Amino acid sequence: MKNILDVSNLEVKFQTRRGGVQPLRGVSFRVHEGETLGIVGESGCGKSVTLLSVMGLLPNDMAEISKGKVLFEDQEITHLKEHERRKLRGSKMSMIFQEPMTSLNPVFTIGDQLSQPLRKHTKLGKKEMKKRIIDMLKLVGISRTEEIIHQYPHQLSGGMRQRVMICLAIICEPQLLIADEPTTALDVTIQAQILDLLKKIKQKNNMSIIFITHDLGVVAELCDRVIVMYTGQIVEEADVRTFFNSPKHPYSKGLLASMPKEDERKQKLYAIKGNVPGLNELPLGCSFSNRCPMAFDRCKMSPPVVKVDGQICRCWLYAEQKVGEQHGE
């Protein structure tokens, strides 16, 4: 299967008032053509930083990719110049951000904003451009398109604005769509509509999707494979069915145990003890060891990445059992 994206041993450093911190520490993964990859983990685990690095949207004044490389369609894009990045963004890879009101420009109409990527990346005339915009708005489930294109973001509901954001991201038919928790602020009904919409767009365009979320139910519904991140590292990677049926890493097991179950309404929800440590407060060795119910002495050393029953896992439990083969990073 062809890889659309190949991230290898990616490390990112931030400069802060308290000194340097490393939000990404050797992140490696691939996205196949036409695949939906889910990335899960608590806030502060490096999910958004990973994909901002892929998109080339890290703040230049405080962040840098210090190691590793990113290949998009076999082209290395790790250190492209900004004008080269702009040719990729919007045309071949796009991103949907969490909050549309901070991503849509309040002083431009919806039609003006949707026409910008078309003017930059296509040679369509005005009539063709308007037809593409209207067709794409209809595709994302927006009616009254002739009226909507003359309205401003504040005149639309949250669900409508999110659909406009999706439309803006896919209007040039990119090969890779990155969605950073695009349904977080929406009610359950609208969330289900947005997820259904993304599935239809993926099938229609054979598009690859990277989906960041805290909601494991969304992962089960939408994704083909899942990556679990913790403190800037990938601790587990598996196909979705295997992940839900047989999670390997103690952190993955904790996340799944935290999901509410229909037959346990009167019981107290399980919660992983403690909090994600700050980047300058990481424990020695395994960064999950201070919260892990299965931690033992060897966890004070950095765990290897091993392959267990086809799953990739960063944990001493499986290295001790010597199952699977070492997975090179």
DSSP codes of every residue in 5-66:
EEEEEEEEEEEETTEEEEEEEEEEEEEETT-EEEEE--TTSSHHHHHHHHHT-S-TTTEEEE
- What's the confidence (pLDDT) of residue 114? 95
Give me the residue label for tokens 């691939």: 30
Tell me the longest C-alpha to C-alpha distance in the chain.
68
Predicted local distance difference test score (pLDDT) of residue 193:
82
Residue with tokens 């439309």: 167
List alpha helices for 10-125, DSSP H: 47-55, 82-88, 100-103, 110-121
| Mean pLDDT of all residues belonging to the chain | 89
- Paired residues of 231 in beta bridges: none
One-letter amino acid for residue 21 of the chain: V
Pair of tokens at residue 57: 């949207």
Q: Where is pLDDT greater, at 328 or 237?
A: 237
Higher pLDDT, 158 or 185: 158
pLDDT at 100: 65
pTM metric for this prediction: 0.89
Average confidence (pLDDT) over 88-107: 84
Q: In which band, very low, low, confident or very high, does the pLDDT at 37 lie, cut at 50, 70 and 90?
A: very high
Residue 308's CB is within 10 A of a number of other CB atoms, namely 21
The mean pLDDT of 286-302, rounded to a whole number, is 94
The pLDDT of residue 325: 43
Surface-to-core class of residue 16, CB atoms within 10 Å of its CB (0-12 exposed, 13-18 middle, 19+ buried): exposed
Q: How confident is residue 287, by pLDDT bands cut at 50, 70 and 90?
A: very high
